[in-house]
Structure 1
């Protein structure tokens, strides 16, 4: 068996970070040195623009509950600063270089680089009216409101978080829980970093003298923190930076609020300069379609690392939300557009097993089914199953125990309560023994997390306020006619541009009566999925109850991925399955969904479906589909810049190899203007309705990945490899192949092919049938023998085996789809006239 474990270890080490590095992650801090604090900037004067005044102007017209929810959405990290500073780096093994992302001297390039939005209340030290005059005062970051207090506590204890002064909405007298809220301090606001939704906290473990020694005597840079651990190229330490060195503490801990992904430029009032927005240019819930959040999360990794090449493949405006609680499925999805939620359909009669508010627990009940918070009379929670009307949230409807539960889960997904509640439920990609914990996921326990994590309770107690904000005016639709009128008013405050003006312009662009004809085409061909009012054709009518457009332009029902035909990997997201980490956030009805028999991969238990999404404001949110692959590729810099993340993905339809550089269509620079959005909408609609015009897209590795595999020892002078080999994964390999490869079952079966081949064949026969089971078992024996004889031929052996037996790809890949802009061919048979009319009509919604 030991030989089998060695084989398993060798094959699986593509996912291992070198042991010599991992040993440094928990290194003890150095002996304390005298602290030389940075000078503290003065508080801003009343005349300065750099204050919270602009943020609070956005509260106008909101109820107290909506106001409270808005502030939480924009600022609350719920304690995830430890996750983004320590846990992600040390437990997950992926490094974030926060200085590279947030350094103030690159503030003007922040949007073009990371697609993230600058905080209008912050400033670059030394700029006019900025309270900080030097980056030495801010440790290289922007100065932001509240920093006059926060910066005094860098390297010290005693900081009082601004959330402690949070003004709660008045308690609901009908809610026994409302007057017994967890302390608002546990919302954990910190202050802005200068990037919307990314917050900072003073690190009391920071040592200024040690920091200056690392950074050539300076406090205002982190450049030394990103130097390699060793300059000796023969050591594995030469491949990683001091970001992994646990003995060096940065000045700030960095946290993330929900707004990091959802705050976006207002389509109706975009900034004239995206690098310098004003508060009126921002909306809090519609989703940032330019964000490079995946690149941010691996910003401390070399571009030729496995983590960068596989993780940083998501298109701008998308994120693989299962990348941390990994399900080994390549499934980036767009930031959810939260618009007109008051009109969003709910689904009645779903069986929901969930915790609900109660005033007491029955005698003899245990904390697994009922729990009362100590010291808070009447604040109890009871777990039971009931039929309810719920939304289907996420691309495949996985969050289905109610809107409040879905909001709560967002905070876990961005790091809240990680150490208390869910890190130990993750898959450890290095754990190759199927009988050991963390070989696979285990379910997150909502009841346990409520008991053990005060940040959980702080958010949970205010979920109705957050939902209230998401139902407020800040999350309502913006029509193209309104956006054009606002743009005209920039030149002439008296300008008018009505819906009729828009229709007139569209009919001049397309043809007479195009909009009315397009409505008929939409009703006949699209409304069965993209309408919430069956049988009605007035898609512009307003609701008497809400004043919003009555039709949500989507029924939110689940459709099999094989019917939609789009890149199906997202539909195979498995984190909500029974036995997996987010099991408790899916309804029993969702778990009971049958498999989609039209796709080759295993599905069922809620997997294999896509929601029929809303088309509200489609004009402002191109490119399309859940992965932003339908339409032109968008980019920040375009090409040639040091932080340009765009990688060409257009391939030859036959060979599926990247087209030559001179054949690659160029990417479209970010343009959040009204007409820039409209132009991108039209180009994306043409690709949607004319599938034959699409050039296939497959994300490829753009650099070789070199993995030096095998254990090493350090004798105090030299690093020596005991045994092992170097594995090179060449540029041009499909990124999804690595992301989707189920290395654990593959390794287990390789071991069994050497040790218990008859048992392996019996199991595969049961799974695949007699003929296919025998073929796969024999191929696994061949691979195991070849790798044992020459481990360096691992990749070549597997590749050759897949070419001989394509069935291997199906058995050991979570998703075999590769073309990312395929599918959704509805409407391809319409006439050219009908297609043009449909484009014109949809622009009015």
Structure 2
């Protein structure tokens, strides 16, 4: 590899600049909480043993305000079991140690810089939801407000004051903080658990759940940094109450032009006062559709749900908040729509892969799939004579707490054989507990001990080099080496109990409207489903709901019913409102079956991700059955090993979850219109006939979580769904030039002098972001090398003409490495044909089902779906 690496730093350092694979794609064409009617009673608890508190567990200091009180009040409102309540607390608070990842590892190993002060600063608390889609913690306050314990932002280092901070703030810059998770009262043990032998509590210490205290935004937690130096901080920022100097562009201090793209955030010698971690709830905590806040900036606890999914959060912009927009990482990854996140952005697999945050609704009714071949670790009371730790392992110091790995065709976690298919392509299919556990790795837990070294290093282009490609994460090794893993794993049954609790109950539109009416006038008459149907038929036509049911049964139910006709009778005769014995809707309104992406027709990139393939990072979280799925012959990109599918999602409460599809691309674009224009991340995406951003864009919908705001967005999105010919094509194009340095520069006190050419490569704005994130740039580098060193080998695979083309391209790059962006622009078809994981650019195409219905049938279908 020495030829290309030394000849062109741009190629060797990061051939992502190759991501200019196309100027444009040729395919581009012109209140009190009101219980729901279907409220689920808490499931019967299994026989329990009393919890045992470890005698050596540290005891947190007493605080002036009980952090957990509102959480327990929510458990009481929902009627949650003890186990589900503990699971809820963990879901909302536990970071499982990822505060180190988000403060150090993310920046230094992955090269992405969050600016936590910019996101969480208290003086812009009222702007957080509009800018970032964050849910303000109702228990926190801005320093200086009436009744707020903190009188100035200097006391809180510019953040909100939150319960527990009277203790936490004492330990900023000092050791000795005892995490509040140490005080968790675990749910009683399940006597059927193989690890509960003789009633002994062998759960790992709750301290390693790592709760910290709230930052002021739900799901984002802070911890005191014992390495904080207040004097150094004062020199950088001018005082304790601001992080302004920390995030300021270095050019203001150095006057060196290239420092325009650098800040003190990248200076590892400056330690912030807090380490910031995230819980699983950071994406899933949302406003309750049944009881939304009157003012999204000032919610109450009764307005909060933990499983709905935050369809307004801008997670990619949050995590990249300290990056210049000219950086490669920003233009590659910080473009997902609100409520959409690329969970493969860190374990990057070379596919543009954003997907909506899962809305966990009526989880107890979600389909499960029996007979899947699954290799996984299962609880055992001993390992017998087995000494191989890759097959069986017992935790030292905890007799009878063992795990045995085997391949079996069953899983009974949910009480009967079968597993959930959790993610958009059906991945995470080795069991519900393991699916929950893996979420913690996506948010940074156990990164250094377990998975970071299994990831691709985008800048490593030598096939013999460490980090050239992914390697499989090892669950057994992680269990042994990461205490945070064990702390979460031992409480996964509590998290699953929370998922199965009433907090995941569906929220029907008539129930939500009734709640609004009752909040305004307690004496208002009940707004029933019949009242909703009457209103919908006034709006959409006489008998629209009954007609819509018939249309749904004939055209949609084959994919969007969890009860097949073979067991439930004809769809035409089906009562889609019928309740199961547990009080939930019997039909989950989605069969969760994997359907070829080519059949669905929507943007296929999300379906082509590869992290679950054999040899890739999440191999152990995919079933053998999943990987045995046949490739889709209608997809031209690589799609073996189970890729190329979307699962048929549930239509429960569709009225609350617009826009539609896995990327929220079908329906109006959402915008927050924050007061601070620097945090306005709305991006125009509609294209003109030439594939460029159209001069005139459809009006965006301002984020509105109210009942009627959600319904208006539903109507607009349904119209776009059912009238695909009227859709304006959408794509995400880079909105700034990407600037990449070709090497070090010499500063003589007045000017910078690069060592190579102009010293920079500029990838021009206006390129589809998909062509950047989905290009196999490493394969391209390897083949350019072969074109010069072993052309016969390359010719065997690509043919003589392509090899000749590659030889000329290599010569041109070696002669003018600073010009390779332009050189590659002329090789668009070569790159598309041989080096792109997904060539689909249009984001709102496909799902044309129902296109041929009459206007009356479409209106009727919209009316009926609003009642589900």
Of 40, 65, 75, which residue of structure 2 is paired with 1:59?
75
Judge conservation of contact 1:539–1:550 (CA < 8 Å) in 2. no
Q: 2: CA distance between counterparts of 1:120 and 1:702?
A: 36
2:816 maps to 1:790: yes
Q: What SS class does the counterpart of residue 559 from structure 1 fall into?
A: strand
Q: 1:468 to 1:258 in 2, by over 3 A?
A: same
| Partner residue, 2:51 | none
Residue of structure 2 in register with 1:143 after alignment: 161
Partners of 2:339 and 2:787 in 1: CA distance? 43
- What's the counterpart of residue 30 of structure 1? none
Which secondary structure state, in structure 2, belongs to the residue aligned with residue 642 of structure 1? helix
Correspondences of 1:152-167 after superposition (within 5 Å)? 152-167=170-185
| Larger relative contact order, structure 1 or 2 (CA cutoff 8 Å, min sep 6) | 2
Matched residue of 2:607: which SS? helix
Distance 1:135 1:342, change over 3 A: same
1:722 to 752, 755, 779: 755
Mean CA deviation greater in 324-333 or 725-734: 725-734
Unpaired runs of at least 5, structure 2: 18-60, 411-417
Q: C-alpha distance in 2, partners of 1:318/1:539?
A: 33
* Mapped pair 1:268 → 2:270: no
Question: 1:828 maps to what in 2?
Answer: 851
Partner of 1:68: 86
- Number of residue pairs matched? 803
Q: Distance in 2 between matches of 1:780 and 1:9?
A: 19
What is the rounded CA distance, in whole Å, between the counterparts of 1:9 and 1:267 in structure 2?
A: 52
Partner of residue 672 from structure 1, selected from 673, 688, 705? 705
For the residues of structure 2 that align with 1:167 and 1:789, how far apart are their CA atoms? 67
Offset of residue 704 of structure 1: 1.6
- Per-residue Cα deviation, 1:15-58 (whole angstroms, up to 9, x for no partner): 689xxxxxxxxxxxxxxxxxxxxxxx99657xxxx964333210
Moved more, 780-789 or 463-472: 780-789
Partners of 2:249 and 2:540 in 1: CA distance: 58
Separation in 2 of the partners of 1:245 and 1:42? 36
Q: 2:778 aligns with which of 744, 759, 767?
A: 744
* Alpha-carbon spacing, 1:346–1:486, altered in 2? closer, same or farther (3 Å): same
Instruction: State the match for 1:431 in structure 2.
Output: 460
Secondary structure (helix, strand or coil) at the match of 1:374 reads coil
Specify which of 199, 207, 213 is matched with residue 191 of structure 1: 213
Gap change, CA 1:728 and 1:136, over 3 Å in 2: same
C-alpha displacement at 1:568, in angstroms?
A: 0.5
| Alignment partner of 1:800 is 2:847 | no
> TM-score, normalized by length of structure 2?
0.90
Whole-Å separation in 2 of the counterparts to 1:415 and 1:686: 39
- How far does the alpha carbon of each residue in 1:61-118 deviate from its partner, in whole angstroms, 9 at most, with x for none? 1111001100000000000000000000111111010000000000000000001110
* Mapped partners of 1:400, 1:479: distance in 2: 29
Cα distance between partner residues in 1 of 2:575 and 2:613: 36
1:154/1:575 CA distance change after superposition, 3 Å: same
What is the distance in 2 between the residues matched to 1:155 and 1:55?
A: 30
Structure 1 position 130 matched with structure 2 position 130: no
Helix, strand or coil for the counterpart of 1:579?
Answer: coil
Name whichever of 778-787 and 716-725 sits farther off.
Answer: 716-725
Partner of 2:118: 100
CA distance in 2, matches of 1:821, 1:233: 44
CA distance in structure 2 between the partners assigned to 1:8 and 1:393 by the alignment: 43
Name the counterpart of 1:36. Answer: none
- The alignment partner of 2:520 has SS state of coil
| Mapped contact 1:446–1:584 kept (Cα < 8 A) | yes
Deviations for 1:321-346, whole angstroms, at most 9, x for unmatched residues? Answer: 00001112111100001000111101
CA distance in 2, matches of 1:580, 1:135: 46
Partners of 2:430 and 2:752 lie apart in 1 by: 53
Correspondences of 1:701-720 after superposition (within 5 Å)? 701-712=734-745
Aligned-partner Cα distance in 1 for 2:7–2:370: 51
1:19-58 alignment, distance < 5 Å: 44=64, 52-58=68-74
Q: Which residue is equivalent to 1:5?
A: 5
Question: 1:428 and 1:841, CA in 2 relative to 1: closer, same or farther beyond 3 A?
Answer: same
CA offset at residue 639 of structure 1? Answer: 9.6
Map Cα deviations across residues 407-430 of structure 1 (whole Å, 9 max, x no partner).
000001100000110111110111
Distance 1:712 1:15, change over 3 A: farther
Decide which moves more: 306-315 or 610-619.
Answer: 306-315
- Alpha-carbon contact 2:603-2:840 (below 8 Å) kept: yes
What is the CA–CA distance in structure 1 between the aligned matches of 2:369 and 2:62, rounded to whole Å? Answer: 54
- Report how far residue 810 of structure 1 moved: 2.8
The question of 1:514 aligning with 2:544 is answered yes
Are 2:64 and 2:164, in contact at CA under 8 Å, matched by a contact in 1?
no
1:646 is matched with which residue: 682, 697, 708? Answer: 682
* CA distance in 2 between partners of 1:381 and 1:735 (Å): 43
Aligned partners of 1:460, 1:120: CA distance in 2, in Å? 29
Q: Which residue of 2 aligns with 1:657?
A: 692
Give the corresponding residue for 2:95: 77
CA deviation vs aligned residue, 1:716-757 (integer Å, no higher than 9, x gap): 999764335421112211111111121100111111111111
Task: In structure 1, list runs of 5 or more residues that go unmatched.
Answer: 18-40, 765-772
Distance verdict in 2 for CA 1:821–1:287, change over 3 Å = same
CA distance in 2, matches of 1:710, 1:539: 67
Determine if the alignment matches structure 1 residue 598 to structure 2 residue 620: no
Q: Is residue 2:673 matched to residue 1:637? A: yes
Q: Which residue of 1 aligns with 2:720?
A: 687
Is 1:462 aligned to 2:496, yes or no?
A: no
Write out per-residue CA displacement over residues 610-667 of structure 1, whole angstroms, 9 at most, x where no aligned residue.
0100000000000000000000001100798221001100002x3211111xx21121
Contact 1:66 1:466 in 2 (8 A): yes
TM-score, normalised on structure 1?
0.93
2:529 maps to 1:499 = yes
Instruction: Report how far residue 227 of structure 1 moved.
Output: 2.3
1:561 corresponding residue in structure 2: 597
Query: Is 1:324 equivalent to 2:354 in the alignment?
Result: no
Confirm whether residue 475 of structure 1 aligns to residue 475 of structure 2.
Answer: no
Q: Deviations over 1:460-514 (max 9, x none)?
A: 0000100100111111100000000011112111221000000000001011111
**Aligned residue number for residue 38 of structure 2:** none
- What is the aligned partner in structure 1 of residue 768 from structure 2? 734
